[in-house]
Structure 1
Amino acid sequence: MKAPKAAVIAHKKPDAEMLKKRKAEMITMKKKKASKKSSDAPKRPATAFFIFMEEFRKTLKENNPDIKSGPAVGKAGGEKWKSMSDSEKALYIEKALKRKAEYEKALEAYKKLNGKGDDEKAESSEKSTSEVHDGEEEAESS
């Protein structure tokens, strides 16, 4: 007696047209996501660590011109940052807070120029939703 043969399912390989179509869809999806951000908007400020790294890169390149790889510089900077005390880091934290305050001012100005301020939301939220609906019902019944 022979055992039944297992059914073999042939998997179809995607053809070139199908792959091109999928790739085009992915590109359009990425463009839609990227278009939500405005290029006019102010950039977020750097953190204390990145401010430290700006200065660290300069001094490292001056002292060691032979080190050119990015990962080596990043690793050395990270190790230096970890070994620093809180009092040494305070200078960079202070600079980061100043940049953050400047960023918040610039962001407020940007929102006012583009009509995305919180003033419109505050005016519409002064009335509770029940008061708004009560006013609509009175107008409809008269």
Structure 2
Amino acid sequence: MLEEGAKPEFDIEEHDKLLGTTEIPSIFSVNRLSVKKGAPKKRTAKHRKKPKRPPGAFFVFMEDFRVQHKQKHPDNKSIATFAKAAGEKWKSMSDAEKAPYVEEVKKRKADYEKNMRAYKKRRAEESQDEREDESDKSGSEVNDEDEDDDSGKEVENDD
């Protein structure tokens, strides 16, 4: 709180004089607080059965390192400490030491690509089935219903 007679750091009246307006100062303007306008970002719906992309070599290494780190430091619950230790270990490893993890990534990537081809094939078949279902519902069904109403039944008008 300010003491009596003390001048605030920001003088609203002086700000108004500089701007030449008696309206609400720009620092309190609704425009600054409003949400940014524009087209909302479109999010693509993720299909639940879509295969997940394979992890990189570092993350495959992390799977093994996590087990080793827990054995050495069972009381450590800090993710930051674990991540820092894993990063330092990965940086200090030679290419020959990283090779098994790179090979594992290649295997996982091949499996992913195989699963992705099968997934795309299933999706294409599903969309083809949907298109066939839609094409079965032709306009003739609507016309058939209209013909049934006109054939032999007269509609009474209550005028």
Q: Please, what TM-score do these two structures have when normalized by structure 2?
A: 0.56
Q: Greater share of helix residues, 1 or 2?
A: 1
Provide the aligned C-alpha RMSD in A: 3.0
1:74: which partner in 2?
A: 83
Q: Which has the larger radius of gyration?
A: 2
1:33: which partner in 2?
A: 43
Matched, 1:94 2:103: yes
Over 3 Å off, 4+ runs: 11-14
2:155: which partner in 1?
A: none
Matched, 1:50 2:59: yes
| DSSP 3-state at the match of 1:33 | coil
Unaligned runs of 5+ in 1: 117-142
- Whole-Å separation in 1 of the counterparts to 2:76 and 2:106: 31
Give the number of aligned pairs.
104
- Whole-Å separation in 1 of the counterparts to 2:94 and 2:29: 59
Unaligned runs of 5+ in 2: 1-16, 126-159
- Greater RCO between the two (CA within 8 Å, min separation 6)? 1
Shift of residue 70, structure 1, vs aligned partner:
0.8
- Whole-Å separation in 1 of the counterparts to 2:50 and 2:88: 34
Percent of aligned positions with the same letter in both sequences?
Answer: 48
- Whole-Å separation in 2 of the counterparts to 1:34 and 1:114: 15
Post-superposition Cα deviations, 1:17-71, rounded to whole Å, max 9, x if no partner, equal x97xx5xx9xxx56x4152x32221000011110000110111011111221111
- Whole-Å separation in 1 of the counterparts to 2:81 and 2:119: 38
